[in-house]
């Protein structure tokens, strides 16, 4: 299924108090990698922004009052996001704001747009109970560089969350995979029923599809480790030698 990693920035904390969405971004994932396709808007909230919120994202109404309103981009957003699985950190917060915006425009709320919804905050709390599970903490935990995140921003945060989600759903906290020891096969041979232990190995050649999947996995490891995937470099040396 097509995945979209979403994030919003807002004028405050509660849409029931009239707070609005001021920035929205959706980053597309396919085959467990970012495709490069995304949607990103800054929006005119038609109201002032709370000081505390502005300190988080650095945006003011002066910055945004000439931007399009949510109603101006709602149809384009729905076209892009329709039928995808949405991945959001602390999903109830963003969904509540988006639902309020859609209700103002008379369009379907989020549940009528997405195919399914994943809350990465809930996933993180299940995997790391009792630990900090905000986006910065998860980036640190999975060795994802967020040094350029001095302020919150919907597009940057969605891109970082996409990397976090891929690392989190790979089922391991590190890039090392613990493989169990191979199980020995013992052959019975010799006179008087003597048991002679030796390895019985069968050489299995990988298929073209398996080799392609292995290469794709190594490239993903290389991106996540910032170019430190030794296996990919060795593979490149062997290809050059061939």
Active site members: 152
Strands 3-10 and 21-30, sheet pairing = antiparallel
Question: Can you list the pairs that 107-115 forms with residues at least 24 positions away whose Cβ atoms lie under 8 Å?
Answer: 107/74, 107/75, 107/78, 108/78, 110/86, 113/78, 113/81, 113/82, 113/83, 114/4, 114/81, 114/83, 114/84, 114/85, 114/86, 115/1, 115/83, 115/84, 115/85
**CA-CA distance, 89 to 176, in Å (whole number)?**
26
SS3 call for 106: coil
């Amino acid at each position: 299924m097509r995945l979209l990693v979403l994030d919003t920035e807002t004028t405050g904390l509660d849409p029931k108090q009239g707070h609005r969405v001021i920035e929205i971004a959706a980053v597309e994932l396919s085959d467990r990698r970012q495709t490069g396709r995304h949607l990103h808007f800054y929006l005119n909230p038609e109201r002032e922004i709370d000081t505390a919120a502005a300190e988080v994202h650095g945006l003011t109404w002066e910055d945004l009052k000439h931007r399009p309103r949510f109603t101006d981009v709602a149809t384009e957003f729905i076209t892009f996001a329709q039928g995808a699985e949405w991945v959001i950190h602390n999903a109830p917060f963003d969904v509540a704001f988006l639902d309020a915006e859609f209700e103002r425009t008379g369009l379907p709320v989020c549940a009528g747009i997405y195919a399914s919804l994943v809350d990465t905050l809930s996933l993180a709390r299940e995997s790391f109970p009792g630990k900090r599970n905000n986006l910065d903490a998860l980036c640190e935990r999975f060795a994802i560089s967020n040094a350029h995140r001095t302020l919150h921003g919907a597009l940057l945060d969605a891109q970082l969350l996409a990397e976090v989600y891929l690392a989190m759903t790979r089922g391991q906290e590190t890039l090392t995979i613990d493989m169990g020891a191979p199980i020995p096969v013992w052959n019975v041979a010799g006179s008087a029923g003597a048991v002679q232990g030796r390895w019985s190995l069968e050489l299995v050649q990988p298929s073209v599809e398996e080799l392609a999947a292995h290469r794709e996995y190594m490239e993903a490891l290389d991106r996540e480790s910032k170019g430190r995937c030794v296996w990919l470099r060795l593979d490149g040396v062997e290809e050059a030698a061939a």
